[in-house]
Amino acid sequence: MGDIAKKHFGFFLDTVYMLYVVSVACVQLEYEIQTLRSVLAVKIREANELKRKLGITTMSEFKDDLRHGMQTVRESDVYVFQSSY
């Protein structure tokens, strides 16, 4: 095999190896993502159960969020400026 052929073959092997390394890293990341999703789902269920025991409903959370949002708007500089006219 000539020098040029060896150089091209070496480049080919390097490329194939890099593709392998990247694909293995991708598979590992996908596994970690799936694990994190599973853990998050368990945590969400636990949080919902605790909220249920505390008597916190989805509607009460929505009302609190809406109340907080309206308060933020009322305290904003633009709202205060516009309401003064």
Mean pLDDT (the chain) is 89
Residue with more model confidence, 23 or 85: 23
Q: Are residues 28 and 67 in the same domain?
A: no
Q: Are residues 64 and 44 in the same domain?
A: no
Distance between start and end Cα atoms, the chain: 87
Q: Are residues 67 and 34 in the same domain?
A: no
- Confidence at 79, pLDDT banded by 50, 70, 90: confident
Query: Closest by alpha carbon to 44, among 34, 54, 52, 33?
Result: 52
Q: Are residues 28 and 5 in the same domain?
A: yes
Q: What is the pLDDT of residue 4?
A: 65
Contact 39, 31 (CB under 8 A): no
Which DSSP string do the residues of 30-60 spell out, in sequence order? HHHHHHHHHHHHHHHHHHHHHHHHHT--HHH
Q: Are residues 78 and 65 in the same domain?
A: yes
Mean pLDDT, residues 73-78: 87
Domains contained in the chain, number = 2
Q: What is the pLDDT of residue 82?
A: 78
Q: Are residues 50 and 67 in the same domain?
A: no
Q: Are residues 47 and 6 in the same domain?
A: yes
Instruction: Note down the domain range covering 81.
Output: 57-85
